[in-house]
Amino acid sequence: MHADEYLSPEELPEPPTLDVVTRFFHGPLFTLTPQPSQEEWLCSASARDRGGVILFDEASIGYTFRPDPAPRLWDAVRTSVAEEHSPWQNIEFALLEHVNRSLRKRLRTERAGGSDVGELLGPAMDLGVEHGVPLLLDGRWVPGIRIDTDAHVLGVGAHLGDRFLTAVVERERLPLLDLTFVTRRAAG
């Protein structure tokens, strides 16, 4: 018989800070352009063991607003590493997945339904992806895509070399933001 052993909350390691993730991401990590209305709040990241070396392959940054930090943007800007040999992995797939995951997580009450747990009512579809949308990154325009067909969120994305930049923002938060991006640098 196998018994699972769990760590108590006190025994769990501290999650990596945004600066730690930035330092160990092995390439560009994207974030919203700094602006008076928002600040970076938290980061979630995933990593893989590549031949004994742990490499981050995805990181999402959340934001709070000033002066009231209550409205939060969870996992708003995501950077993911594009897999070379995955024919299904492209910027359209990355943005659709980010939009639909955001809808499932943030808008459970409005969008959850059906017989399966986590089933999404009215998911974003590839027919809603608009190409040729310019995005501002590090002060220059890059070709991007947009999903502007959802009543609750707006999604944008760009394929940048070996990276995908995707961002999903609730429509009610859009007036508070300048939806432009920079490459994040670790403090210190």
Q: Which residues of the chain have pLDDT under 50?
A: 1-4
- pLDDT at 148 (0 to 100): 93
Is residue 3 in some structural domain? no
Report yes or no on 112 lying in a domain: yes
Q: How many separate domains does the chain show?
A: 1
pLDDT per residue as tens digits for the range 6-37: 667 777 677 778 898 888 888 899 999 999 98
Residue 4's pLDDT is what? 45
Q: Is residue 161 part of a domain?
A: yes
**CA dist., res. 91 & res. 116, Å (int):** 27
**pLDDT for position 3:** 44
Does a structural domain hold residue 2?
A: no
The answer to whether residue 94 is domain-embedded is: yes
pLDDT at site 119: 65
Pairing of strands 140-147, 153-160: antiparallel
Is 121 contained in some domain?
Answer: yes
The label of the residue with tokens 């933001």 reads 177
In a domain, 4, yes or no: no
| Res 2: pLDDT | 44
The chain-wide mean pLDDT, for the chain, equals 84
* Residue 98 confidence (pLDDT): 94
Domain range enclosing 169: 17-183
Give the count of beta carbons closer than 10 Å to the beta carbon of residue 82.
16
**Does any domain span residue 134?**
yes
